[in-house]
Amino acid sequence: MDMEFINRESLDVMMFASLCGLLLLGFPVAFSLAGTGLVFAGIAWTMGLFDMSLFGALPSRIFGNSMTNEVLVAVPLFIFMGVVLERSRVAEELLDTMGRIFGSLRGGLGLSVTIVGALLAASTGIVGATVVTMGLLSLPTMLRRGYAPSLACGSICAAGTLGQIIPPSIVLVLLGDQISNAYVEAQRAVGNWSPEPVSVGDLFAGALFPGLLLVGLYMAYQMMTAWWKPDSSPAIPSDELETGDLFWRVLHALIPPIVLIISVLGSILAGIATPTEAAAVGALGAVLLGGLRVDEQHGSPIYVAACALVVMLVLANSMDLRITRNEIPADDLAAIVVAILASLILAWGTWIALLRIYAARVPGTGNSVLVEVMRTTMQVSSMVFVILIGASVFSLVFRGLGGDDMVHEFLKDLPGGVFGAVLLVMVVMFFLGFFLDFIEITFVVVPIVAPVLLQMDINPVWLGIMMAMNLQTSFLTPPFGFALFYLRGVAPDTVTTMDIYKGVIPFVLIQILGLVILSLFPVMATWLPKIIFG
């Protein structure tokens, strides 16, 4: 029996090491996950250490956890929303406007990049699009104005990754689903068969203050750098800044993303809509905004449709719009009629917006903007869900070989108790971020360690936000930080790869400082969900 345990334990370790090796060699993530699991399942089966009947539950597990999971529907919707906004030139206008406001300050361009990154994070959440857009627009300007290449690159990369922690975020959606499942599993393991559910909305609310903390730390670092090394981030002379009609420029740039943020994030935090419903509203709002940006001279259909959408949201949350009742009061009947008219107006405005986006062309390619948006959304969504299926196979084999028991015993026996276990998991996730993508870590590591940690009476929302902030560093840590690759692809030849690496190191340290602060003050992540959701 001892020999069997040793063999199973060693197979688990070998399986995880083989997966890391395959990923480092560049094999596709989803096929590496599923393939490694199947190969080691076959090896263990020949040794009598694995029961192949476990795979009988795999189809229903995938169907139940993925295909019929309403929470995960928000993923393609948020991706669609982000891609549409990226194509709608919202970032360009925000950067130009913020540059005019803060450009006359020393370090002002760096501050404007961070603020725009936070606004884009709260309205799109797409790291690649944000980094590429700001790299194309801000980096040449910052270099031309005398900014140190490392500081300029670090500011852009760090601001672009804010979309991982500031809601709405794809990371928080995926983590919320995994943490919810892990929490239920952990509570059942300790005898609680009716645990309080943990939702994506809880993580959205919990991530708000830590996200703003990071924004503040980034800005504080840039202001300190501007004071300590004035030559690294000089101000733009006031006479070179065009400030005419600045007030209207600010309104024109800020109102659309702020309205979208309020409609999406505000509806979730107010308890009006679930994350999936809010994502649908956001996707629709992004389409309307995209149609308006294509032809602002004829914006009346879009404005009317947007007003109709607001009317529908208000009626849906203040009146009973069910039409299958036997008796409908007069006020409810009037509301139903108004809602039907508003939905028809919204459909008309959305159709016009879609036609405009379809007719618009992507510069340099000549392809339709709408076609490119749909293609990108399908590619990213397919990648996420194929990885999810591959991770389900890997996790099934890992657990079938007793990996969850091994991890539980290992973490439970660590010196330092709960603190030691959480610290080790955070350190492992941090170093895995050097080589693995956040999706891989979320689907592979979190299901293994989260149930064990949550059995130690740890707040699931706090743990989820700690993991989300830790995963954010995976975009900045060399050699495989995606934000570094995104910026390297659009940076001018005068900027070296070492400039980018040197620039992100202070921001990685700032993120670690943010993790330390959050670990010392868990109330930053737990207070708002408790206030909002009880």
> What is the secondary structure of 207-265 as a DSSP string?
HHHHHHHHHHHHHHHHHHHHHH-GGGSPPPPGGGS--TTHHHHHHHHHHHHHHHHIIII
Q: What is the pLDDT of residue 244?
A: 61
**Rounded alpha-carbon distances, angstroms, from residue 271 to 95, 129, 180, 199, 267:** 32, 29, 18, 12, 6
Dist CA 485 CA 504 (whole Å): 12
Do 57 and 400 contact (CB within 8 A), yes or no? no
Q: What is the pLDDT of residue 97?
A: 82
Q: What is the pLDDT of residue 174?
A: 86
Instruction: State phi, psi for 432 to the nearest 5 degrees.
Output: -65, -30
* Mean pLDDT rounded to a whole number for the chain: 84
3-state helix, strand, coil in the chain (%, to 5): 80, 0, 20
Q: What is the pLDDT of residue 3?
A: 45
Q: What is the pLDDT of residue 66?
A: 66
In this prediction, the residues of the chain whose per-residue pLDDT falls under 50 are 1-5
Dist CA 423 CA 516 (whole Å): 10
Lookup: tokens for 11 = 């197979």
Dist CA 91 CA 363 (whole Å): 16
Dist CA 5 CA 47 (whole Å): 12
Dist CA 7 CA 234 (whole Å): 62
Dist CA 361 CA 519 (whole Å): 48
pTM of the predicted protein model: 0.83
Dist CA 155 CA 163 (whole Å): 14
* Cis before 168 (ω within 30): yes
Burial of 57 (0-12, 13-18, 19+ CB in 10 A): exposed
Dist CA 106 CA 371 (whole Å): 42
Lookup: tokens for 309 = 């959408």
Helices (H) and strands (E) in the chain, counts: 24, 0
